[in-house]
């Protein structure tokens, strides 16, 4: 093949996200991915070994992006801002979001994936800590459930909103007692 990628791994991950967005994760194949990227059929296998390896790398990238999104919010916003950042990430990166929470598709013991998950959980836990609840409390799981559930409902089309992020702010506001839910 005459096409050369400066960073084939990165290009394959981008093509994977695009293919999942277009056709869903079930239809993704390493051969079709190679064709999309303009490389030999063996090239994706060289970088990821198999489809699960490819999806594991995409999930790890997603968890890292999610951690960055939540850690990058103003600490004054605390849990609500992190919740909105969570939803914003999901809406901006739906292919990553889809794969991140399907452990049966992944190499769940992958060190890079485990570390990325921990960074994302730490970023959410920092927001939970602003409420006075412990980072490993049931409240942390409740907070995660609410923003994850809302993002999933919007992505699936079950919840339609003219301004999903504004509504995410209201939904996340329900996590903090006494919050002004009218914003």
DSSP string, the chain: -----SSHHHHHHHHHHHHHHHH-GGG--HHHHHHHHTS-TTHHHHHHSSHHHHHHHHHHHHHHHHHHHHHTS-GGGHHHHHHHHHHHHHHH-HHHHHHHT-GGGS-TT-HHHHHHHHHHHHHHHHHHHTTTS-TTSHHHHHHHHHHHHHHHHHHHTSS--SSHHHHHHHHHHTTSTT--TT-
In this structure, the answer to whether residues 32 and 107 fall within a common structural domain is no
Contact 119, 68 (CB under 8 A): no
pLDDT at 138: 77
Residues 81 and 159 in one domain: yes
What pLDDT, on the 0 to 100 scale, is given for residue 16? 94
Q: How far apart are alpha carbons 92 and 61 in whole angstroms?
A: 14
Q: Do 88 and 144 fall into the same domain? A: yes
Q: Of 76 and 125, which is predicted with more confidence?
A: 125
pLDDT at residue number 143: 81
Say if residue 5 is in the same domain as residue 19. yes
Domain that holds residue 42: 1-48
Specify whether 102 is located in the same domain as 148. yes
- Contact criterion met (CB below 8 Å) for 174 and 146: yes
Domain assignment present for residue 79? The answer is: yes
Domain co-membership, 107 together with 133:
yes
1-10, 24-33, 123-132: which has the minimum mean pLDDT? 1-10
* Confidence (pLDDT) at 179: 44
Q: Classify residue 12: in a domain, yes or no.
A: yes
pTM for this prediction: 0.86
Does residue 124 share a domain with residue 92? Answer: yes
Residues of the chain with pLDDT > 90, as a percent, come to 46
Question: Which of 19-33, 52-66, 117-131 is the most confident on average?
Answer: 52-66
Distances (CA, A) of 23 to 29, 34, 65, 92, 95: 11, 16, 23, 17, 10
Sign of CA dihedral 137, 138, 143, 145: positive
- 83-138 pLDDT tens trace: 899 999 999 999 999 999 999 999 999 999 999 999 998 888 877 776 666 555 67
Instruction: Read off the pLDDT band of 2 (50, 70, 90).
Output: very low
């Amino acid at each position: 093949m005459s096409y050369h990628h400066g960073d084939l791994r990165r290009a394959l991950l981008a093509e994977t996200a695009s293919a999942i967005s277009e056709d869903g994760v079930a239809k993704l194949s390493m051969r079709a991915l190679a064709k999309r990227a303009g490389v030999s059929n063996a090239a994706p296998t060289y970088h990821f070994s198999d489809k699960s390896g490819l999806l594991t790398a995409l999930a790890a990238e997603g968890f890292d992006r999610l951690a960055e999104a939540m850690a990058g919010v103003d600490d004054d916003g605390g849990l609500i801002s992190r919740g909105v950042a969570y939803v914003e990430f999901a809406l901006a990166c739906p292919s990553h979001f889809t794969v991140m929470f399907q452990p049966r598709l992944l190499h769940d013991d992958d060190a890079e994936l485990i570390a990325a998950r921990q960074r994302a959980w730490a970023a959410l836990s920092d927001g939970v800590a602003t409420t006075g609840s412990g980072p490993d409390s049931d409240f942390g799981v409740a907070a995660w459930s609410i923003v994850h559930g809302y993002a999933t409902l919007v992505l699936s089309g079950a919840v339609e909103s003219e301004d999903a992020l504004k509504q995410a702010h209201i939904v996340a506001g329900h996590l903090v007692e006494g919050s002004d839910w009218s914003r």
